[in-house]
Amino acid sequence: MLEDFRIACMFLTRLPLRPTRPVGLRDLAAAVYMFPIVGALVGAVGGLVYLLAIHLDLPTLPATVLAVAAMVAVTGGLHEDGLADTADALGAGEDREKALAVMRDSRIGSFGALALVLVVVARLSALANFWDPGFFLRVAVTAAAASRAAMPVVMWLQPSARTSGLAASAGRPEPPRVWAGIALALALGFLLLPPAAFFEAAAASALAAAATATWLGRRFGGCTGDTLGAVQQVAEVAFLLAVVTEI
């Protein structure tokens, strides 16, 4: 279990947690149930940065900006980059191969930049409502965990859109590992948030992830590492906005 956590950290974050043995992308499929735990760790970093910023008497909005920046730094902007690449591919026209080629391009175009701005602003505007540091921490942890639980589901249900790349190389995870990840995310959520608030947020996140994954899967013929990042970002924003409606 600890080794799977290290593998998930290696692929999803910049944290200096590495497996004790050589691993490849195939090992990632076996470690997907740890995605929510890695997400919880990312959210915890953001929550602790927010707590420190508030302790230093920073206003809520600047403290929230620092918290989001910390979470992006921990992941290296991995999922944000996937969102931007996916948005650029969607703006490339109807030709599937051309769209996939655009998705591979590391440069960010106008569609990608716009998508990034919208998602970051949505995250900031939602998180800025959670002025209490303790509640901010709990929401950041559960949102990051729940949104990352959606990624293995997409890997399981959709084929790879390419013959190479992360989704193709990792392969489809085994269903018990996917369900284990969902169970961990649910356990964290019900432990940290009021049940009604978590239920509504989890439902909103799941619906947003399902709709996004279905749309992107039909558009590109399956999933890619970039579309997985896009699904995570949309799911996290949906979760946060749903919690806002409950406070």
103-123 mean pLDDT: 92
Q: What is the pTM of this model?
A: 0.93
The per-residue pLDDT for range 127-186, each reduced to its tens digit, is 999 989 999 999 999 999 999 999 999 999 999 887 766 666 667 899 999 999 999 999
Percent helix, strand and coil across the chain, each rounded to 5? Answer: 75, 0, 20
Give the residue numbers spanning the domain of 74: 2-244
Distance CA 50, CA 134 (A): 10
Cα pseudo-dihedral 34, 37, 41, 42, rounded to 10: 70
Is the pLDDT assigned to residue 91 strictly greater than 90? no
User: What is the domain count for the chain?
Assistant: 1
**Residue-averaged pLDDT of the chain:** 92
